[in-house]
Chain A
Amino acid sequence: MKILVPIKRVVDPYVKVRVKADETDVELANLKMAINPFCEIAVEEAVRLKEKGHAEEIIVVSIGPKAAQEQLRTAMALGADRGILVEHDEALEPLSIAKVLKAVIDKEQPSLVLFGKQSIDGDNNQTAQMTAALAGMGQATFASCVELEGDQVKVAREIDGGIQTLSIKLPAVVSADLRLNEPRYASLPNIMKAKRKPLETVTVADFELQLKPHQKVIKVAAPAERSGGIMVGSVEELVDKLKNEAKVV
């Protein structure tokens, strides 16, 4: 079977972003970029399924600027077989991304589409669910364990009170939670090999989709700063402050 893994180029998770002075967006110029950590987990899971003999081919796809090639190459160095870059310079909303991915799914016909559960920039947590809806597939979000069983995929999901297990009919959409796996590091030989793997570039226009904006960003502001606190010298002082100053205990 074929596994499709959509990945996103995002600002590195360890970078603290700042809001632009004109409050139109966050400042992204010259920041270190990386594969969204949840997408990396999805790639790792696909590679493990292939290593177990469940999958023949892993295709990674990214919708974004030309520079997103770097993230596709990284995913190929981790074990994906080929990449598709749907070049698009402006940021797209989750629904538009889902529509593009639906078009890629129609063309590639994967049995499993493995997403990260959310991107750490937009924090939307929507694209997998939307893609599943558009493709008419079942969905298993926030996966912490994925097992293929015949024409079904059995997924343990992280829910609010614990873990829930579902069985979804293939083709299916699964979104990865943090604890699904520990992504491997790409070795130098694999990084070199990834350079020769096929990377197809198309544009959103190639799909003849009707994409329209559904929302307008009015402003992007910095959150209110917390007023600076104090250091206390002892446990006794802490208890005193909590009882008499903050009055929370």
Chain B
Amino acid sequence: MAILIIAEVDKQGLGPECAKVVGAASALGQELHLLVAGQGVGSAAEQGAKLAGVTKVLVADSDCYEHQLAEPLADLVVEIADEYSHILAAASAKGKDLLPRVAALLDVAQHSDVIAIVSADTFVRPIYAGNALATVQSLDDKKLLTIRTSAFDAVADQAPAEIHVLGNTQANDLSRFIGEELVVSERPELGAARVVISGGRGLGSGENFALIEKLADKLGAAIGASRAAVDAGFVANDLQVGQTGKIVAPELYIAVGISGAIQHLAGMKESKVIVAINKDPDAPIFQIADYGLEADLFEAIPKLTELL
């Protein structure tokens, strides 16, 4: 049986995480089909067809899928689920919203935030904010996984695969889209950035985040934040890194004025190199930092920006 990957699409096309979910699915060694559902998703489908390993792209283009709401999309996935042994999606807000609904409708378990695929039925996932790793074996005939994309590599491009248009529509009146307020940013997307600089409560105010922004501009980095910084209103909540926010694993993570609570560490401790700048020598962040600097961030950050 083949594997179904549910693609995320937005107005720009295919979501950047999709190539990593395909990368995770490649380990299973079966035919990979990509489901691209939405409205006006022609270019996303073409992008998806070029991902190495994808043998078929299924396109469901209808206004009922426009915002990829869980109710109609789950019904669509259930309708085509018969021929698939595995159904995968990114462990993003959309994937987390959708896949448990599909799992319940199919009466199978769903495995969240998978970080390693051991075999076709055995997966590794973090529990307790990443303080333990559970290896679980699925006893169901269908395996539904959301993939922690920071744990897998994106696949390269290939010659485009076949695109197959589905006629299915699954309109329902359970939910209705009202509006969206997206944060516009010139910086790289937090989940995909090579360098992430995060600020915490130590910044003291939203205005002081300008210091972080200057450093981020210099390094081409994405900006993140601790929950304390978000709760204090310094930055928007979609920048939060942690168990309850985004999980990142960049090459370089610079934590500025962040103590390093369990909740925050869960979102960044897989980063390759961690730098901590904090004036409290006892801050737990120093225990996991590769390079720690005990200093006042208001002096250290401008200097760092100048030297880089």
In angstroms, Cα B290 to Cα A228, docked, is 7
Which of A126, A140, A165 has the largest number of chain B CB atoms within 10 A? A126
Contact B237 A158 (CB under 8 A): yes
In angstroms, Cα B122 to Cα A215, docked, is 9
Does chain B have a CB within 8 A of A54? no
Taking the closest CB of chain B, its distance from the CB of A13, in whole angstroms, is 7
Does chain A have a CB within 8 A of B298? no
Taking the closest CB of chain A, its distance from the CB of B228, in whole angstroms, is 12
Does chain B have a CB within 8 A of A196? no
Does chain B have a CB within 8 A of A236? yes
- Chain A interface residue number, banded: 35 or more
Contact B179 A129 (CB under 8 A): no
Are A229 and B137 CB-contacts (below 8 A) given A26-B128, A162-B238, A167-B176? no
Are A138 and B128 CB-contacts (below 8 A) given A162-B181, A226-B269, A248-B252? no
Interface majority SS (helix, strand, loop, mixed), chain B: mixed
Q: List 12 A-B contacts (CB under 8 A).
A: A125-B112, A129-B70, A161-B182, A162-B181, A213-B139, A215-B111, A219-B134, A231-B294, A235-B304, A242-B273, A248-B273, A249-B308
Given A160-B94, A217-B135, 17 extra CB contacts under 8 A: A123-B128, A126-B103, A129-B104, A134-B104, A139-B101, A158-B238, A161-B182, A164-B67, A166-B176, A166-B178, A168-B174, A215-B137, A220-B132, A220-B133, A221-B135, A230-B292, A234-B293
In angstroms, Cα B113 to Cα A135, docked, is 25
Which of A26, A131, A137, A242 has the largest number of chain B CB atoms within 10 A? A242
Contact A159 B94 (CB under 8 A): yes
Does chain B have a CB within 8 A of A132? yes
Does chain A have a CB within 8 A of B96? yes
Chain B: interface residue total (CB-CB under 8 A):
89
Taking the closest CB of chain B, its distance from the CB of A10, in whole angstroms, is 9
In angstroms, Cα B286 to Cα A34, docked, is 28
Q: Which of A60-68, A78-86, A90-98 contacts B (4 or more CB under 8 A)?
A: A90-98
Does chain A have a CB within 8 A of B40? no
Are A123 and B108 CB-contacts (below 8 A) given A166-B177, A166-B178? no
Q: Identify B122's interface contact among A163, A165, A213, A218, CB under 8 A.
A: A218
Chain B residue at smallest Cβ distance from A134? B104
Does chain B have a CB within 8 A of A188? no
In angstroms, Cα B68 to Cα A158, docked, is 15
Does chain A have a CB within 8 A of B28? no
Contact B136 A218 (CB under 8 A): yes
- Please encode chain B, from 280 to 308, with 1 for each CB lying within 8 Å of some chain A CB and 0 for all others: 00000011111111110000100110011
Taking the closest CB of chain B, its distance from the CB of A3, in whole angstroms, is 18
Does chain A have a CB within 8 A of B155? no
